[in-house]
Structure 1
Amino acid sequence: MTTAPSLAPATDTGTVLRADGVTMRFGGLTAVRNVSLTVGVGEIVGLIGPNGAGKTTFFNCLTGLYVPTEGTVSYRGTRLSRKPHLVTQAGVARTFQNIRLFANMTVLENVLVGRHTRTKEGLWSALLRGPGFKKAERGSEQRAMELLEFTGLAHKRDHLARNLPYGEQRKLEIARALASEPGLLLLDEPTAGMNPQETRATQDLVLAIRAQGTAVLVIEHDMRFIFNLCDRVAVLVQGQKLVEGTAEIVQADERVIAAYLGTPVEGMPTAPDDPTDPDGTTDQAAPTDATAATDPADSTVPAAATDPATPAAPATAPEAVATPDAAGEPDAPDRATPPDRATPPDQPAQGQTGDTP
């Protein structure tokens, strides 16, 4: 990897991203609840949490893929549009949890796609291929090659994207995102599926991006990667922000440990109180042990457990209980005679006479 090209002005100070009270509901399901977060210029912020905590949904709210039910998202003090392409044009770029490259296009062509928000030439200029368009095309190709050098992919510029190894496909996605010259880069699990060597290379790449003044907000499940890389870390649990701070603060918080190990502690976010599940059913609170033992109205508790006057059901196996036949007489339970004690054919069974028909 060569010296990083200039990705964003490194002289700006202040807040790049501000999310205030972002909430995202899907029908009766609240995926993100009242999450606020800021990212400063040149800062790397990590977003962690168990699977299903709402991390990617929060990313989608930031980039316009989802319109938040409540809350606002601002970039450099200006409220972001609800249209993804305008969010990118404003200066926010992202990668995805699942790689989304143009598989049948070359490495260079994939990066050039990311330059469309920075190309000033219009449709007629492109169709007529005038001098202005050709100049812009040369500039875009030069910039794309700089980014391929930056990510270590310049020697594969003419390779089809589908033929790249997995780790290089991840790098190509980052290069394409950087082609739009963002001030904020959002990375959704950039090291997923990578080996330790590829993970270290990705960490170095993100640090090089930050060195040029581009802020980074990253979702990741690799805790070593997050804690070695990020200036601050925010933890989402059940769609709510549980804690935010330095790596040391987050690692020492018992609630974070409980969120990953499944042990409830005081102060943990509870499940959303929406009465209806996504499948349309209504949540019912499970009775406590004390209630189950004393409340005879609970239909899930046998009457014998709550009413002393009600006899308990016998603990007899179902097949050993006599049941009335059609005439009202109980049938004796079927009992197989053990093979070693079978009655000889020429002798009547015990309790029967030989002349019984």
Structure 2
Amino acid sequence: MTTTTAPSPVLEANGVTMRFGGLTAVRSVDLTVNSGEIVGLIGPNGAGKTTFFNCLTGLYVPTEGTVSYKGTVLPPKPHLVTSAGIARTFQNIRLFANMTVLENVLVGRHTRTKEGLWSALLRGPGFRKAEAASHERAMELLEFIGLAHKADHLSRNLPYGEQRKLEIARALASEPGLLLLDEPTAGMNPQETRATEELVFAIRDQGIAVLVIEHDMRFIFNLCDRVACLVQGEKLVEGTSEVVQGDERVVAAYLGTPFEGAPGADELAEVEAAEASGAQSTTSTEGKAQ
């Protein structure tokens, strides 16, 4: 006899709400990602997808609701979320342009390096061993994404599609149990998109659950086990690709056709402005921290 293990929840978002002043960008969203799953998050511009991602990864503190990873509620601090086991990429590539491909991946290893300040300054045996292990793991990841031969190249000199791959490798360097991808195929040609699809499948096959935002419907429906659609910050529908594609409300939302309870253009514009304002304040905070 063979026994099968039921998938266990990796991510559980319960009642996540995010308000910017009097504007609600995300409203009471529930979402679960199980082990071994690829889940997609879709929705028209201004739907609150990136705001929801930012709530999951600690960049925003949700106004209401909780986010749990493997049963433990996450603290609203990005570095603690990464340490717990969640990694992400961004819609706008955030590589260190003047660092090599290898150095960018090594940056992602810092949450898994246990050596302290004095060990690094004195460069003792423990530090050298950890450094060698990080280098070996970084090269394994570059081999995995097909960029080992460019380890010494500056990241700014990589073609766009390879920069996207490098950002994924840097996220994987933190050894996550869940990877969040924010529009990973944005700006890619069909060949690059197909390569990204194969890469995400390979990541899932390594035991890492994936949650992905994407505007390319062909990509998302080919890739995902389940898809959730947000409209004006609310989850409109969730299910298999077939269920979501066949939902008239989803079609209406993307075509701009009004349906009962649909947000108006002014409301959508307010949500987009709030998300942009939140992104700018996050970037400003990051700059000060650096």
TM over 0.5: yes
- Within the candidate set 241, 247, 251, 2:241 is matched to 247
Partner of 2:285: none
Unaligned runs of 5+ in 2: 274-290
Q: How many residues align?
A: 265
Cα offset for 1:269?
4.5
Percent same amino acid at aligned positions?
83
2:55 counterpart SS class: helix
The 3-state SS of whatever aligns with 2:185 is coil
Whole-angstrom CA distance in 2 between matches of 1:263 and 1:147: 44
Larger Rg: 1
Q: Could you tell me which amino acid in structure 2 is paired with residue 120 of structure 1?
A: K
| CA distance in structure 1 between the partners assigned to 2:80 and 2:153 by the alignment | 30
Task: Determine which of 160, 163, 167 is the counterpart of 1:169.
Answer: 163
Q: Distance in 1 between matches of 2:17 and 2:262?
A: 15
Q: Which runs of 5+ in 1 are unaligned?
A: 1-10, 280-357
Please give the alpha-carbon distance, in whole angstroms, between the structure 2 residues aligned to 1:263 and 1:107. 45
Q: Provide, for residues 132-154 of structure 1, a one-character-per-residue CA deviation record: whole Å limited to 9, x for no partner.
A: 00000000000000000000000
Tell me whether 1:92 sits opposite 2:86 in the alignment: yes
Give the secondary-structure state (helix, strand or coil) at the position aligned to 1:159. coil
Does the 8 A contact of 1:39 with 1:217 survive in 2?
yes
1:20 Cα deviation after fit: 0.3
Query: Hey, which of these two has a bigger chunk of strand by percent?
Result: 2
SS at match of 2:44: coil
Tell me which amino acid in the other structure corresponds to 2:57: T
CA separation in 1, counterparts of 2:205 and 2:262? 36
**1:34 partnered with 2:28:** yes
For 1:206, the aligned partner's letter is V
Tell me if 1:209 matches 2:210. Answer: no
- 1:265 deviation in Å? 2.5
Partner Cα distance (2:166, 2:262) in 1: 38
Across the aligned residues of Structure 1 and Structure 2, the Cα RMSD in angstroms comes to 1.7
User: Distance between the aligned counterparts of 1:237 and 1:116, measured in 2?
Assistant: 37
2:194 is the counterpart of 1:200: yes
Structure-2 change in CA distance of 1:164 and 1:116 (3 Å)? same
User: TM-score under structure 1 normalisation?
Assistant: 0.72
Match for 1:81 among 66, 75, 91? 75
Query: Which of structure 1's runs of 4+ aligned residues deviate more than 2 A?
Result: 268-271
Who is 2:212 aligned against?
218
CA distance in 2, matches of 1:36, 1:119: 34
Residues 1:135 and 1:12: Cα distance change in structure 2 (over 3 Å): farther
Cα distance in structure 2, aligned partners of 1:269 and 1:173 = 36
What is the TM-score with the length of structure 2 in the denominator? 0.89
CA distance in 2, matches of 1:111, 1:129: 21
Q: Secondary structure at the match of 1:64?
A: coil
Deviations 1:109-161 (A, max 9, x none): 00000000000100000000000000000000000000000000000000000
- Contact 1:240/1:269 (8 A) holds in 2: no
Q: Which amino acid aligns with 1:208?
A: A
Q: Which residue of 1 aligns with 2:222?
A: 228
